[in-house]
Amino acid sequence: MWDYTDKVKDHFMHPRNVGDIKNPDAEAEVGNINCGDVLKLMLKIDKKTGKITDAKFKTFGCGSAIASSSALTELIIGKTIDEARKITNQQIADFLGGLPREKMHCSVMGMEALQEAIAKYKGEDLKTPDMEEREICHCFQVTEKEIRDVVKKNKLTTLEDVTNFTKAGGACGQCHKEIQNILDEILHVRTKSEGKESKLTNLQKIKLIETVIEEDIRPALQRDGGDIELVDIEHNKVIIKFTGACSMCASRGSTMINFVEKTLKEKVGKEIFLVLETFK
């Protein structure tokens, strides 16, 4: 049996801010009724100050889900939306005096609802690259993006951790291999940043190269009107093509070496080298 703190029990037995807000300024619904947890979060926001003046929720789920949702509303009322969106699932758990490891996914659900509500309020594009939208765990409808975000933010290291924080892999187990591959890739980046080394399989290396280009290189180039296309990967040789403003830039050779290749060497491996595809 899990050991719950008195504060978790209090917020479960006497949840704060349950109900509806008529004509909310922001709202979001996350989770899935088939998975056992759903949270609807509604916010009232002062247009002049940007402060959250009221927050209400409705939760279908276990005691930890109700307590986490209640804690979330207490944490965000009175904060500006920019302050509120910085709240992490760990802060929700800490507010409650901690949650059992197996119930951390309840605090993650609260954080995701808050981030989605604020993004909608700000009119931000909620779409993510196709790679990240891909559903990894079909039993609990958990996407690659959700797994990556939770692993990075909470510094998770094991498959069991991922299941505890997202539910992914907690049913049939068919997604375990894919989850482990995502973990291996992220852990490789983390260990390299700490000055350590870890061995990647060829498939993991290819996946990591694609991820670094999508998450680190492409956004930087796009800010200046340029872009990059991954043409092919041959062992340690990465063949790319610059597009947009980068294709016409006279300094694209130095950009490739000084930025793109350097980034790949740092995050994938020092053996990586680039080849720029050219057309006659």
Known catalytic membership, residue 106? yes
Q: Which tokens is 209 given? A: 């190269």
Alpha-carbon dihedral 230, 186, 91, 68, rounded to 10 degrees: 90
Q: Which entry of 35, 137, 175, 246 is annotated as an active-site residue?
A: 35
Known catalytic membership, residue 249? no
Burial 161-175 (b: 16+ CB within 10 A, else e): bbbbbbbbbbeeeeb
Cβ-in-10-Å burial (0-12, 13-18, 19+) of 33 comes to exposed
Strand ranges for the chain from DSSP E:
26-32, 37-45, 52-60, 135-137, 142-143, 226-234, 237-244, 273-276
Query: In what helix (H) or strand (E) does residue 66 lie, and over which residues does it extend?
Result: helix 63-76
Q: Which entry of 62, 106, 246, 249 is annotated as an active-site residue?
A: 106
The residue among 188, 184, 159 whose CA lies nearest residue 173 is 159
**Taking CA 102 as the corner, what is the angle to CA 100 and CA 103, rounded to the nearest 5 degrees?**
70
The residue among 7, 165, 197 whose CA lies nearest residue 88 is 165
CA 160 vs. chain centroid, Å, equals 18
**Taking CA 262 as the corner, what is the angle to CA 256 and CA 267, rounded to the nearest 5 degrees?**
130
Three-class SS of residue 251? coil
Catalytic residue numbers, as ranges: 35, 106
